[in-house]
Every structure is written in structure tokens, then in C-alpha cells.
Amino acid sequence: RAKEAGKGVYAVYDRGMHTEFNERVVIEKHLRSALDNEEFELFYQPQVDLLTGAISGFEALIRWNSPVLGFVSPLSFIKIAEDSRLIIPIGEWVLRKACHFMSGLCQQKNNCYKIAVNISVIQLLQDDFIETVLNVLSESGISPGCLELEITETVFIESFERIVGKLEYLKMQGIRIALDDFGTGYSSLSYLQQLPITTLKMDKAFIDPLSDDSYSQSFIRTMVSLGHEMGLEVVAEGVEDSSQLVILEEAGCDKVQGYLFSRPLSQRNTQELMRRHKLD
Ligand code: C2E
Ligand code: MG
Ligand code: MG
Ligand code: MG
């Protein structure tokens, strides 16, 4: 075909398409057995409370070490897991694992830490999603206020009515709901007001330019005020250096998460960190 068209670009384009397609097929194939083969692991990234300076919670982040493909980033496999619906059992595993781990940690430290879990729209649309969440809570023994479900704005674009009702119910049970990657989606401000959420998680894209751009600094201050005006907790993600931190503190941001404090840690390293971590 490339020869017919007389242009090399077509051949390159075609090959690119095939490669991407094959990669998806290969990833999906190996994803199918990954859960049974115990190839997933959860990492935990601390969130620091800017008022106390102490760790107040963690975000659970999935890691996949495939014996065939090696380490595969969630950025490469979550979408495929969603399209193949494998995200349903995988997501349930994440939720259960994270809640049980946090339950143990809270008991050990005699303190309540928040555990934030990323939830896909595919999971939310399941008829038994609420039941699953409530079951995991009672099994693990953590209180609803310790669990935060992280969702993105796309969730509302896909199926507003069905999802708002479910989240409203979960929020009424005391479970926290964070709007993840806030600012990167398409929601208008009027839309934001209708969402049953407790937390705004400002995307890293707004944090990155903070140290050398005064426009982005006033932008952040406005986002934080807006969140507080709406009664929400405001969290910054992807905080990498101390000059960003200073600006976030001045802006009144509640919590920060990022490489400045810690990368996501294995379960063992999280336990090790917490053994050393003193309560104020
Ligand atoms: P996210 O939920 O927005 O998670 C934040 C991502 O930023 C994580 O990437 C984290 O490792 C990374 N990060 C945190 N601090 C910094 C920093 O200071 N600098 C930089 N450069 N990066 C930082 P990760 O773990 O690769 O996850 C990527 C995305 O994959 C997540 O974005 C989330 O959308 C998705 N994901 C991860 N785990 C799960 C899961 O269990 N379920 C679902 N549905 N999605 C997940
Ligand atoms: Mg997240
Ligand atoms: Mg995020
Ligand atoms: Mg993100």
C-alpha cells in the first residue's frame, strides 16, 4: 500500500498503528492472568498536612511487575484494563488491599490515617459498587472517614445522573470523595458546585510552574480559595521542590503530596517510614 501511495510516510504511519495495536493486545493478554498470579503490588505515597507538618494519609498506587513484560506503568495499562473491564476485579483488589493495610497501620499507630484510592468510572457504573465499598469497609474495620475515593471529572461526563447519586450516597455514609487531576478536565465552575465531593486535588500541571511564574501563583491562590469557599479540602499533587511548597503554604493549601516528601513506597517501606514517624 505504501508503494501504491508512493509515499514512505504511509508505511511508517501503518506500522505505528500496528505496533500500538499489538502492544494493547499483548498487555491485555497478560493482564488477564496478572491478578491470579499475584503480579500486582500497591505502593503508598504520603500526604502531608501543612497545618501540623505530619503525615495525614496516603494515596494507594498500583504497580504491575509482569514476569513477561517487566514493570508496566499504570499510565499504560489502566486504560486497557478499563476497556477490557478487567479494572473491575483489579479495582476491587486495590480497594480491599489498601483498606486492610491502612487498618493495620492505624491500629499499630493508634491513629487514623486517610487512604485515598483511585476509582475508575467502570467500577462506579457497576450495580454493586456501593455494596462492594461498604463490604470492604466493614471487613477491614476502618471508619468511612478514613477512606477517600479519587475520581476524575471524566466520570461525570460519561454518566452524570447515575454517578452523582451513588457518590452522594457514599458521601452521606461519611466516605470522602476527591476530584483528582482537578483543572485538567472540562467541568465548568457551575458544574463543580453540583458534585458530591469533599476534596479538590489540584493537578501537577498547576504546581509545576509555581516556582518561576507569578501568574500561576495567583492562579493557585484562587483555586485554593474557591475550594475553601465551597467547603472542600484542597490537596496539591506533584510537589517536587520547596519553593513550590512555600507558595502552597502561603495560599493556604491543606495538604501536599509529591516527591519533595516521598515517592510512592512499597508496603514494607511505608511501614518502615511510619515506624520512624512520630506523632505531634
Ligand atoms: P494520579 O491518581 O493522578 O496519581 C498521581 C501520579 O503522580 C502517580 O503516578 C504518582 O506516582 C505520580 N507522582 C506523585 N508525586 C509526584 C511528583 O512529585 N512528581 C512526579 N513527576 N510524579 C509524581 P502513577 O503511580 O504512575 O499513576 C499514574 C496514574 O495511574 C494515576 O494518576 C491514576 O490515574 C492511575 N492509577 C494508579 N493506580 C491506580 C489504581 O489503583 N486504580 C486506578 N483506576 N487508577 C490508578
Ligand atoms: Mg489519584
Ligand atoms: Mg492525580
Ligand atoms: Mg494525575
The complex's ipTM?
0.98
Q: What is the pLDDT of residues 250-267, one digit of tens each?
A: 999 999 999 999 999 999
**Beta strands at 199-202 and 147-152: parallel, antiparallel or unpaired:** unpaired
- For residue 197, how far is its CA from the centre of ligand 1 (angstroms)? 20
Q: What is the pLDDT of residue 108?
A: 87
Residue 89 Cβ contacting ligand 1 at under 6 Å: no
Return residues with CB closer than 5 A to ligand 4 (ion).
Answer: 181
Q: What is the pLDDT of residue 193?
A: 85
State which of 39, 61, 123 you would mutate to test the pocket of ligand 1, scoring each by most atoms of that ligand within 8 A of its C-beta: 61
For the stretch 177-235, pLDDT in tens is: 999 999 887 767 777 888 899 999 999 999 999 988 888 999 999 999 999 999 999 99
74 lines ligand 1 (CB under 6 A): yes
- H-state helical runs in 110-203: 121-124, 129-140, 154-172, 189-192
- CA of 47 from ligand 3 middle (Å) equals 12
> Which ligand is closest to the CA of 82, given by its number?
1
Q: Burial of 193 by CB count in 10 Å (0-12 exposed, 13-18 middle, 19+ buried)?
A: exposed
Q: Report which bound ligand comes closest to the CA of 62.
A: 1
Q: How far is the CA of 93 from the centre of ligand 4 (A)?
A: 21
Verify whether ligand 1 is closer than 6 Å to residue 42 (CB atom).
no
Given this model, what pLDDT does residue 7 score? 44
Ligand lying closest to the C-alpha of residue 59: 2
pTM assigned to the model: 0.93
The predicted pLDDT at position 80 comes to: 97
The per-residue pLDDT for 223 is 94
Check residue 2 and give its pLDDT.
Answer: 40
Distance between CA 16 and CA 10 in Å, rounded?
10
Name the packing angle between helices 8-34 and 74-83 (round to 10°): 80
Radius of gyration of the chain (CA): 20
Query: For residues 185 and 128, what is the distance between their CA atoms, to the nearest angstrom?
Result: 27
Instruction: Supply angle C-alpha 224, 228, 234, rounded to 5.
Output: 55
88 and 119 in contact (C-beta within 8 Å)? no
Asked whether 264 lines ligand 1 (CB < 6 A), one says yes
Residue 279 and residue 111 in contact, taking contact as beta carbons nearer than 8 Å: yes
d(C-alpha 103, C-alpha 137), whole Å: 10
Q: What is the pLDDT of residue 280?
A: 43
- Which contacts of 156-160 are long-range, i.e. CB under 8 A and separated by 24 or more positions? 156/187, 156/191, 156/195, 157/185, 157/186, 158/121, 158/125, 159/121, 159/125
d(CA 56, CA 216): 27
Please work out whether the CB of residue 75 comes within 6 Å of at least one atom of ligand 1.
yes
Name the stretches of the chain with pLDDT < 50. Answer: 1-12, 280
